[in-house]
Amino acid sequence: MENCHLIVGLGNPGLEYRATRHNAGFALTDKLAERWRAGWVLEKKFQARLARGELNGRKWILCQPQTFMNLSGEAVGAVRNYFQIASAGLLVAVDDADLPLGEIRLRARGSSGGHHGLESIEQQLGTRDFARLRLGIGRQEREAGRQIRDYVLGRFGVDEQARFQQVLARAAEQVECWMDAGIQLAMTKFNGAIAAT
């Protein structure tokens, strides 16, 4: 589909995973759907929830894979192929435990950085040439033997939740800039730590 942007938020479906750090991508796409006054529809043929619309003359599709994180590529590949989205029109939003909470980083391409959702998408698409927006969720010092899995599947604390809402607002603006003006300006203008308010 010409002049169409596909914005994918990664996460895990189900109430038990709702509002966890690992679902930061879902949270961003929920924020965008709210900003753009769009409703979600479960599309079983894609194994994904989709919302569609137009902003400033540009068509967009929001996507939340319902395959669980490690199989995200199955849904993303199906949606991308069906709507014929160019690589330049694809952006994937993910949580990143290696970035502090309050920091966002958009890149035009790159490695998965060990993120299983990105690995799945790269494998399905056969390329790393798509934008990825990393939402910092921080990483805390943990007692010996505790896995990162416990942390990313945990929920934000009260103070963290307020900070994360600032992150989502800033990241939503960055996505809109990416759509309107391209990735270079979106990276220059928005990448980095967000000032606490």
Q: State the catalytic residues.
A: 22
| DSSP secondary structure letter of residue 139 | -
Q: Which of 74, 192, 56, 53 is nearest to 133 (CA)?
A: 192
Which residues does residue 58 pair with via DSSP β-bridges, in sequence order?
55
What residues contact 42, with CB distance under 8 A and at least 6 apart? 48, 49, 66
36 torsion bin: left (phi>0), alpha (psi -120 to 50), beta (else): alpha
